[in-house]
Amino acid sequence: MRAGCRLLSANPRRLALLTCGTGSAPNLTVADIIRTRDGSLVTRREITGRIDAWGSVWIDSFENHGCYHCDSIYYTDWRTGRRVERDPMDDPGGDLDTPHLRPPPEDTGTDSTVAVEGSARLVEHDVRPRDLTSEMLFVRGRRRQTLGRCDGSCVSPSLQAGRAVWIDQRNDRPSTLHEFDARTGRHIRWRMPRLVPVRDEDGYSDIEYEAIRVGRAIVLAAGGVDPRHRISLQLAIRPAK
């Protein structure tokens, strides 16, 4: 492995993706596709932005151009170098293993896609709609993996760098923060203090949790919907493996 490179992930085809900085251009990332059996180089591509995921055809990357909402998503065919640029506000996602970036299937009456990254989706499935019980599913192609059940509300879902995060928020008992790593299968749960309504001059107002992604870290914010309420922040510490 070259100095300054890190392993993003390997696939069942015995290929691995190494990401390396270019040094001179901070918005470019060098992607080295290597064979895991002997470390030989298959191809090398310069990718615009931060690489988030890759498949048998496409590399998915993201770039911010230095201003609010000035973002771009790039799909680069790592075999040919062909690149497709999309606006994050309009990008439906795509299957990184298909030549035409096949979009994910449309939601059904009981399934709602709450986050998308490349060919992977985080889907909330209504188990019992009447009492708001739902399940969080990790979907890639035809594979559907149940990650957990929300007996309260599944809030603040996100999918980034192969890590799914959501909160099973409850008002009558402690809530739970979840993180699932799709590359390793590791599922971490953090038990959080019970939400207590805040009394203000207008009466009682509910407190809500929000999981904020800051790089690989997760910051848990607790505060009211009223902007006058104080907000508390807490860093979620992952336990040792």
195 in Cβ contact with 207 (< 8 Å): yes
**pLDDT confidence of 74, banded at 50, 70, 90?**
very high
Domain coverage including residue 31: 5-86
Report how far residue 188's alpha carbon sits from residue 177's, in angstroms, rounded to the nearest whole number.
8
227 and 124: one domain? yes
Place of tokens 């107002």: 205
**Domains: count for the chain:** 2
Residues 6 or more apart in contact with residue 241 via CB below 8 angstroms? 186
Is the domain of 132 the same as that of 79?
Answer: no
pLDDT exceeds 80 at position 196? no
Is the same domain home to 148 and 194? yes
172 lies in the same domain as 225: yes
Give the percent of the chain with pLDDT over 70.
Answer: 77
DSSP 87-144: -TTT-----TTSTT-PPPPPP-SSEEEEEEETTEEEEEEEEEGGGTEEEEEEEETTEE
Residues 216-239 have a mean pLDDT of: 68
Tell me which of 81 and 160 has the higher pLDDT.
81
* 91 inside domain: no
Residue 136 in tokens: 């969080």
Position 136: which residue type?
M
Mean pLDDT within 164-188: 86
Q: Name the DSSP letter for residue 109.
A: S
pTM over the 0.85 mark: no
Residues 141 and 214 grouped into a single domain: yes
Residue 95 lies in a domain: no
Q: Among candidates 157, 168, 108, 156, which has minimal Cα distance to 132?
A: 168
Stronger pLDDT, 217 or 85, i.e. the higher one:
85
